[in-house]
Amino acid sequence: MFKDTDLFLKDFQTIVNIDSSSDHLPGIETVARFFQKRFSAIGLVADVLFQGDAKAPCLQAVSGHGRGTTGNKNCGNNTKENTKKDGKEDGKEDEAVYDLMFLGHMDTVFPFGEVEKRQFSIQGDKAFGPGVCDMKGGLLVALHALETLEKEGALKKISICVAFNGDEETGSIASKEWIRSTAKKSRNVFVFEPCRPGYKMVSQRKGGGWFHVTATGKEAHAGADPDKGVNAVVELANQIVAIDKLNDPDSGTSAQVTVVNGGDKVNIIPNQAVAAVDVRIAQLGEKEKVERFFNTLCDNTVLPGAKVSVQGKIDRPPMETTQKSLALLDLIINEGKKMGVNVTSIATGGCSDGNFTAALGTPTIDGMGIVGANSHRQDEYVELSSIPVMVNLIANVCKALIADGS
């Protein structure tokens, strides 16, 4: 049983006080090296990988023991750091099958220098700091759960692949295929995004993507020759009204215009205007409908002479429940009951890398990290009382999987 909350808090302070915004690769690598050392100390084969053209630092740690494993050090489709650092496939398929994939991200949304402004701090039962909730607390839950299993002699009985990427907040562009490849080799996936207050796990997430709609018109003097111009802002405004009609609460589809730019000077008819649209879908079947709608906007201009172009797509599938994922959730709920914890689940509109793993058919439960709220905000926090609860819950679920033979 996990009891060393003081060590957890020491680790917490260490990694939260490392700036690791998605564009600050040295900071992300520093976080990865912290976990590499700790996972190696309990017998996992831990490596720092540099994924894709962006060389995004990612941490991979493999427990090579347990049923169905080959002992291959690489759980995804990339070679380890000391043989190849270019993030490309090595051409050799790993045949290992892992009982569990522990998935999380080391990058945060906060820019370099944020730590200097507000370092890790504790106020009552809450901890604050950049990324404390999303999701450095969750990464430590995964680490301390595995350390607990190792102390109890259970880690050697289960095969686990830890995959912490460094570019989730910017879409996991470099690490996406690595994550998918690892999930294909895993029986179950735990995503260590924050658990919601009240011990609510995440069993469903919306999928989504971004679209950029550009309206092009013709400049003219707004006072002397307005009839010679084509107002791109007006054209875009009409397109925004059409986009707004995509919102459908019944199907779970939302289309929110979030950023609009157009025009240059108050006395000039604008010749260009651009809108950014955040789209979320709860059902995979909505993907084709939404993309078809945006692709037809260029054929449905309102002003004579105006043109419309669209870039974007739905690039994260929804995380939908399956019989297997619900069975995994039931196991977690039952283990919570044994601990006196009332675990429930929710659906959310936010995306995570769990969207990718669930879409492959691998049972995925999200929100397995420390309890917290206000992600992406300066008042982001976690509940310190949830540390032993979540670490022991994860460890107990792993032991239940061992006993069940899953």
Q: 3-class secondary structure for 34-50?
A: HHHHHHHHCCCEEEEEE
Q: What is the SS3 assignment for 294?
A: helix
pLDDT, position 72: 39
pLDDT, position 77: 45
Instruction: Looking at the structure, tell me whether residues 11 and 123 fall in a common domain.
Output: yes
Which of 293, 316, 339 is a domain's end point?
Answer: 316
Percent of the chain's residues with pLDDT above 90 = 89
Other C-beta atoms lying within 10 Å of the C-beta of residue 290: 21
Instruction: Looking at the structure, tell me whether residues 195 and 97 fall in a common domain.
Output: yes
Q: Which residues is 202 bridged to in the sheet?
A: 346, 366
CA atoms within 13 A on the CB side of 35: 35
Instruction: Looking at the structure, tell me whether residues 335 and 303 fall in a common domain.
Output: no
Helices (H), 101-186: 114-117, 137-151, 176-184
**CATH number of the CATH domain containing 37:** 3.40.630.10
Give the H or E element holding residue 324.
helix 323-338
Q: Read off the tokens for 388.
A: 């032993």
**CATH number of the CATH domain containing 283:** 3.30.70.360
Q: Which amino acid is at 71?
A: G
Whole-angstrom Cα Rg for the chain: 24
Instruction: Looking at the structure, tell me whether residues 156 and 108 fall in a common domain.
Output: yes
**What average pLDDT does range 358-380 have in this prediction?**
97
User: Mean pLDDT score of the chain, rounded to an integer?
Assistant: 92
Instruction: Looking at the structure, tell me whether residues 255 and 139 fall in a common domain.
Output: no
Instruction: Looking at the structure, tell me whether residues 217 and 295 fall in a common domain.
Output: yes
pLDDT category of residue 377 using cuts at 50, 70 and 90: very high
Q: Read off the tokens for 277.
A: 């649209």
* Tens-place pLDDT, residues 49-79: 999 999 999 999 998 653 443 333 445 544 3
Contact call for residues 87 and 174 (beta carbons, < 8 A): yes
**What average pLDDT does range 136-163 have in this prediction?**
97
Give the H or E element holding residue 398.
helix 386-404
pLDDT, position 97: 84
User: How far apart are alpha carbons 52 and 178 in whole angstroms?
Assistant: 10
Instruction: Looking at the structure, tell me whether residues 274 and 380 fall in a common domain.
Output: no
pLDDT, position 64: 67
Q: For residue 112, how far is the Cα from the chain centroid?
A: 20
pLDDT, position 75: 52
Instruction: Looking at the structure, tell me whether residues 244 and 111 fall in a common domain.
Output: no
**What average pLDDT does range 116-134 have in this prediction?**
97
**What average pLDDT does range 143-156 have in this prediction?**
97
Which of 285, 316, 347 is a domain's end point?
Answer: 316
- Tokens 């504790």 — which residue? 122
Contact call for residues 394 and 145 (beta carbons, < 8 A): yes
More confident residue, 351 or 69: 351
Instruction: Looking at the structure, tell me whether residues 49 and 12 fall in a common domain.
Output: yes
Q: Which amino acid is at 138?
A: G
Which of 257, 281, 316 is a domain's end point?
Answer: 316
- Tokens 């796990």 — which residue? 201
Q: How many domains does the chain have?
A: 2
> 34-42: which pairs have CB atoms within 8 A and are 24 or more residues apart?
35/59, 35/61, 35/106, 35/139, 35/143, 35/162, 35/164, 36/61, 38/143, 38/147, 39/143, 39/146, 39/162, 42/146, 42/147, 42/150, 42/155
Instruction: Looking at the structure, tell me whether residues 359 and 311 fall in a common domain.
Output: no
Residue span of the structural domain in which 272 resides: 207-316
Q: Which residues is 121 bridged to in the sheet?
A: 128
Instruction: Looking at the structure, tell me whether residues 160 and 188 fall in a common domain.
Output: yes
Instruction: Looking at the structure, tell me whether residues 224 and 87 fall in a common domain.
Output: no
Q: Which residues is 280 bridged to in the sheet?
A: 208, 254
Helices (H), 160-273: 176-184, 232-244
pTM for this one? 0.86
